[in-house]
């Protein structure tokens, strides 16, 4: 058996000898703008080779980056494609490489990124390690992990289809106290009514106050007119530094983090009640 080929060497590999790796993060079949990509390749040729795992001369090879380019070649009826090889990769290394390379090109389907981030978290054992290995922000990593763990397939589909933001889904889940049916109803109410940000924030306050409330009751209470006041807090240097350290670590706005911490303390100690 020959030695693994250096990644700098470009080879023409028959399409029939290539399989899409289970570690390729583009699990959803990518047909977005495929006609345009195929037309571009037909005119200009393939400018960026696909990336394969395997040993030259010992097919089948595993495709870990370049699924859209591979599909475009199939669409054009091409028999081969320009490719480069990596050396042997562990499953974790393959997922990381595929995720990073695809993020640098066309935006990944939310579901594909979510699955890849979840798999890496399981393999690497911490959010910080996922951040170090991929360059994704902690907020992005936590969003994907939370949605994967708690959201229903119906809610995930609405995110993928662009009907609702990840932030609003997180609010619905918190307001529903992880009651999936209630969360689905809140998501639908947000989509149908398009409430302003202050109403969506209050969904969490009311939903967290009483798990017996229905989604309609939570939404109705949150939508009532409210008078909101700004309160200025004086923090000593140590508190300011601690707040900024936490905000930077969590990638949150300091005022939002302070407000959330105060809200949770007041709720836990019985001082925060709905009106």
pLDDT band at 66, cuts 50/70/90?
Answer: confident
Strand partners, 11: 83
May I ask the CATH class of domain 11-97?
Answer: alpha beta
pLDDT of residue 30: 56
Contact by Cβ (8 Å): 70, 82: no
Instruction: Give whole-number Cα distances, 126 to 113, 121, 133, 141, in Å.
Output: 17, 6, 11, 10
pLDDT of residue 1: 36
Arithmetic mean of pLDDT, 169-193: 92
Q: Percentage of the chain with pLDDT > 70? A: 78
Sheet holding 80-86, edge to edge: 11-14, 80-86, 50-53, 61-65, 18-20
- What are the pLDDT digits (tens) for 2-56? 343 445 588 999 999 998 866 555 555 555 567 777 888 888 889 888 888 888 8
Arithmetic mean of pLDDT, 158-175: 87
Q: Which of 30-39, 134-143, 237-246 has the highest mean pLDDT?
A: 237-246
Which distant-in-sequence residues (6+ apart) come within 8 Å of 257 by Cβ? 243, 246, 247, 250
pLDDT of residue 6: 42
Sort 269 into a burial class: Cβ within 10 Å, 0-12 / 13-18 / 19+: exposed
Higher pLDDT among residues 225 and 77, named by residue: 77
pLDDT of residue 132: 81
Residues in the chain: 275
pLDDT of residue 2: 39
Backbone angles phi, psi at 137, to 5 degrees: -75, 155
Sort 182 into a burial class: Cβ within 10 Å, 0-12 / 13-18 / 19+: buried
Any idea where the domains of the chain sit in the sequence? 11-97, 109-150, 156-228, 237-268
Instruction: Give whole-number Cα distances, 185 to 111, 166, 208, 217, 261, in Å.
Output: 21, 16, 16, 11, 27
| pTM for this model (two decimals) | 0.50
Q: What does the DSSP 8-state code read for residue 60? A: P
Instruction: Give whole-number Cα distances, 148 to 114, 120, 152, 175, 231, in Å.
Output: 7, 13, 8, 18, 36
């Amino acid at each position: 058996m020959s030695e693994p080929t250096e990644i700098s060497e470009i080879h023409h590999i028959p399409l029939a000898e290539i399989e899409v790796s289970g570690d390729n993060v583009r699990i959803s079949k990518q047909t977005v703008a495929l006609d345009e990509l195929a037309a571009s390749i037909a005119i200009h040729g393939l400018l960026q080779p696909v990336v394969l795992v395997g040993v030259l001369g010992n097919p089948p090879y595993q495709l870990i980056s370049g699924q859209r380019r591979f599909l475009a070649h199939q669409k054009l009826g091409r028999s081969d494609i320009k490719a480069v090889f990596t050396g042997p990769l562990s499953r974790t290394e393959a997922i990381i490489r595929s995720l990073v390379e695809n993020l640098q090109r066309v935006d990944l389907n939310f579901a594909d990124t979510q699955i890849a981030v979840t798999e890496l978290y399981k393999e690497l054992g911490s959010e910080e390690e996922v951040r170090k290995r991929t360059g994704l922000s902690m907020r992005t990593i936590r969003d994907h992990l939370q949605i994967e763990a708690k959201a229903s397939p119906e809610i995930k589909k609405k995110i993928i289809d662009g009907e609702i933001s990840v932030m609003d889904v997180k609010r619905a889940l918190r307001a529903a106290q992880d009651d999936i049916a209630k969360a689905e109803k809140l998501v639908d109410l947000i989509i149908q009514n398009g409430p302003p940000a202050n109403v969506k924030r209050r969904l969490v306050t009311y939903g967290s106050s009483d798990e017996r409330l229905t989604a309609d009751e939570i939404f109705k209470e949150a939508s009532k007119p409210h008078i909101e006041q700004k309160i200025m807090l004086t923090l000593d240097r140590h508190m300011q530094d601690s707040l900024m350290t936490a905000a930077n670590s969590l990638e949150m706005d300091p005022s939002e983090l302070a407000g959330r911490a105060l809200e949770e303390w007041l709720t836990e100690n019985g001082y925060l009640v709905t009106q």
